Structure 1
Amino acid sequence: MDNNLSLSGVRVVDFTHVISGPFCTMMLAHMGADVVKVERPDVGDSLRNIPGYEGREGHPDYFNSVNNTKRSVALDLKNPDHHAAVVDLIRNADVVVENFKPGTADRIGLGYEAMKKVNLKLIYCSISGFGQTGPYAQRPAIDPIIQAVSGVMSVTGEQDGPPMMAGYPLTDTVAGMYGAFAVVTALLKARESGVGEHLDVSMQGAMLYVLGCRMAETLQAGIVTERVGNQNPFRVPSEVFLSKDKRPTILHCSNNKRWEALCRALEVPEWAENPKYDTMQKRQEHRQELHAMVAARFAERDQADWMPRFDDEDTTCIHVHDYQEALDHEQVRYRSQLTSRDHPLDGEVWTVGVPLMDPAYNEAVTRPPTLGENTANVLQDWLGWDETKSKDMLKKQNG
């Protein structure tokens, strides 16, 4: 582990599973924290056990994507000896992150109120769907549920179609990211005060937080925002257009300068000169007409013929990339954001690493752990157990 990273020396006990919590703790690990993932013996994080991707059957690639750069200990929280060892880990930790159903941590004797008695400076982060308290606290909540209740689905999709989910676990990752941010800020406070705190992060609340900038229309004007597909409610033209070879391109004109540049790139300067379209408000009034004009013009040539012209005019447009194209993008390669590590069970495991140019962060990325592979060395590192005592624990676990 690189001792020069931002969170080097910070110890995190990780009780999380699936996406929201593991994403949070992975972010902390990428910043240098020593993250110890506590998993159920023989079972582990449920994400280990979902079917593999086609051609990767038997390999937990989804789990691996959010659990690199951590250590795994397999301890049974129902076993008194194991439970005591976990409490000792927390005694020596700076941070606990959990995403149990609200009330579970308290029920198993590992909630904040109990743990702050053994570690006053402990930062304890709980991530859940709706928060630890309130009328919805005990409701089951996964990403699709929070996408629905947060309102983001209502503004995603075509105007005449049904609400649509984002194509990835948006609310899980947003909650995890906010959790990591909250942990780091709480650590700064605790270093000054010597006293920790309980951070109650809800997926619902985190989504409302990031949606706030676009909810101003509803908050301030009482207008319920409608779906507009790939269009932008405030900017015209803004849409995905298909070229002659059916390749998708997103075009977006945020002001008159961009509109004039687009007209030059499309070789129709007369559009920019037409007083009917010379302000954004007028272009909004003629939204459908303008989009039809741009679509027809763009469909006359292949995308490869248009792109040099758009680049010359510095227009805000780009090909709509699929995941493979996004990973292969030359800017991603330049910034060396992708890392690969050899795994004893899963072969070469690729990771989307830290979006910082400092190479130290991605050089410090380590492969995802196998279930419980670090139990003995964590007990020795954190608790000062000798090899015999830690091996005895493993024998009891396996016996």
Structure 2
Amino acid sequence: MNDSSKTSKYSQAVADFPVHRPRPAGAELALQGIRVVDFTHYIAGPLATMIMADMGADVVKIEAPGRGDDFRQYPPMIPEFGGGAPWLWCNRNKRSITLDLKSPEGLAQARALIAKADVVVENFSTGVMERFGLGYEACREYNPALIYCSVSAYGREGAFSDRLGFDPIAQAESGFISMNGYVDREGVRALSPVMDISTAMMTSNAILGALVSRARTGKGQAVEVALFDNALLMTGYASLQQTFTGREPQRPGNTSPDSCPSGVFTAKDRSFLINCGNTQIFQRLLTQVLDMPDVAANPAYATNKDRLGKRDEIFALLQNEFSKQPFEYWHARMLKASVPCGVLRTVGEAVRSPEAREREMLTRIPHPELGWVPNMSLPIRYSDTPLADPVVAARVGEHTEKVFADWLGYDEERIQGLAEAGAFGRSAAVAG
């Protein structure tokens, strides 16, 4: 099956996803008026700038002429997107321009845009922006109020600053992989790029903090977020547990090493997970869901510490009961008893679930050629400054002419002159 035919799969799902509801007319945007020059690629940087774009910032993505961001090549490729479906996921609401930073003309225009910007975000290898003359110290000379954010693998200074890093490497070196999976086999990486995603969240958060500081002091500053640093944070409180006890976390599979019973059980028809995070929930599970008051009263199960020591015994007891009825039977009883539970879903089931539809997390948005495309929203809700209406990710250089007209006031003749001089790439045609 070629990539074009794959697009038909989502076109059959009109009933699955609601149409995006436009934001109220006239409502302000949280980052209205903030200008961002985006030199990022792949996931962590672009997702961070997309969060800002969704909040209303004017994010201008600088791409290499021709190919653009390498993340455009991640499958499935869809010609109408100018890239693959993953590209749409983290580049919504931005404008794309092309600049040849190896040409004097392209570099000069990058500086001109930075001079007008509130924020610059970059995640090149360490030293690349400095070699272009676009490092923080150079940029602050002509834009002292600039917030300049660098996203790196291991930091911009020190013994490891020149190392490349990707999400799976960060998962491995942070200890995250060692914590996940089953004790009788090697640790397992998360398929979702959790380190890139959480680094993006941390990056956007750091930039917002710097903007708040600038509003108070008038001063710009450099901001840095390292993938490895963030990955260590993503190991959660296990890091301090290990520090205090000297013991490494043991891979628990789908159970919890800290509370019991928490894990996966199988009803007559399908599997589900429950999480009894405290003794009160355990008591409600036994008395109100399973009708086992004698077990609930057993002093051997009185505390969480007691239950952790008898996990296998408790799990066998619960599994025997859960296997007697279908999940919906147990689900209704657990909801009524306020016992946290959830069915094990596939991704396809999750994005089409009643919960996702209720929250309008995945909706349909317009596309000029395909009619519509699916769109995954941010999990942010503002009462007074709702997020921007989603606009599908741009093709390479789609907004070059418009950005230079808007930001720098260039007329068509000057833009054409820059194109002929190679500022946008030797063979690049200027797009509106």
Deviations 1:30-85 (A, max 9, x none): 11111000001111000112331699998511011100010000111111111111
Q: Which residue of 2 aligns with 1:9?
A: 33
State whether structure 2 residue 349 is matched by structure 1 residue 325.
yes
1:378 equivalent in alignment to 2:394? no
* Alpha-carbon displacement from aligned partner over 1:169-212 (angstroms, at most 9, x marks no partner): 01111111111111011111122322211112101111223434
Structure 1 residue ranges without an equivalent (≥5)? none
Alpha-carbon spacing, 1:363–1:89, altered in 2? closer, same or farther (3 Å):
closer
Please say if 1:291 is aligned against 2:310: no
- Rounded to whole Å, the distance in 2 between the matches of 1:252 and 1:55 is 44
State the partner residue of 2:125. Answer: 101
Give the match for residue 85 of structure 1: 109
Structure-1-length-normalised TM-score:
0.94
Q: How far apart are 1:253 and its partner, in Å?
A: 0.9
1:390 aligns with 2:403: no
| Equivalent runs, 1:107-256 vs 2, <5 Å | 107-245=131-269, 247-256=270-279
Q: Contact conserved, 2:93 with 2:392, CA < 8 A, in 1?
A: yes
Matched residue, 2:71: 47
- More contact order relative to length (CA 8 Å, sep ≥ 6): 2
**Cα deviation 1:301-336 (Å, max 9, x = unaligned):** 221222112122121111122212221222322232
1:105 Cα deviation after fit: 0.9
Counterpart CA distance in 2 for 1:381 and 1:363 is: 19
The answer to whether the aligner puts 1:261 opposite 2:284 as a matched pair is: yes
Cα distance in 1 for residues equivalent to 2:330 and 2:363: 34
Deviation at 1:4, TM superposition (A): 1.1
Task: Name the Cα RMSD after superposition.
Answer: 2.2
Question: Could you say if the C-alpha distance between residues 372 and 59 of structure 1 is closer, same or farther in structure 2, counting changes exceeding 3 Å?
Answer: closer
The answer for unaligned runs of 5 or more in structure 2 is 1-22
> What corresponds to 2:3 in structure 1?
none
- Out of 328-337 and 364-373, give the one that drifted further: 328-337
Q: 1:145 to 1:345 in 2, by over 3 A?
A: farther
Could you tell me how far apart the structure 2 residues matched to 1:120 and 1:378 are?
Answer: 22
Residue in structure 1 matched with residue 17 of structure 2 by the alignment: none
- Written as runs of structure 1 = structure 2, the 5 A alignment for 1:353-372 is 353-358=377-382, 361-372=386-397
CA 1:354–1:54: 2 relative to 1, 3 Å: closer
Picking from 34, 38, 46, the partner of 1:22 is 46
TM-score by length of 2: 0.87
* Equivalent in the alignment of 1:300: 324
After TM superposition, which residue ranges in structure 1, 4 or more long, deviate above 6 angstroms? 53-58
Matched letter for residue 364 of structure 1: D
In the alignment, the residues of structure 1 paired with residue 204 and residue 323 of structure 2 have an alpha-carbon distance, to the nearest angstrom, of 45
Q: 1:54 to 1:42 in 2, by over 3 A?
A: closer
Verify the 8 A CA contact 2:82 2:395 in the aligned structure 1: no
| Structure 1 residues 222 and 231: CA distance shift in structure 2, 3 A | same
Contact 2:78 2:84 in 1 (8 A): no
AA paired with 1:370?
Answer: R
Q: State the partner residue of 1:277.
A: 301
- Does the residue aligned with 1:388 lie in a helix, a strand or coil? helix
> For 2:345 and 2:59, how far apart are their aligned partners in 1?
34
From the superposition, tell whether residues 6 and 303 of structure 1 become closer, same or farther in structure 2 (CA, over 3 Å): same
Range that drifts further, 324-333 or 53-62: 53-62
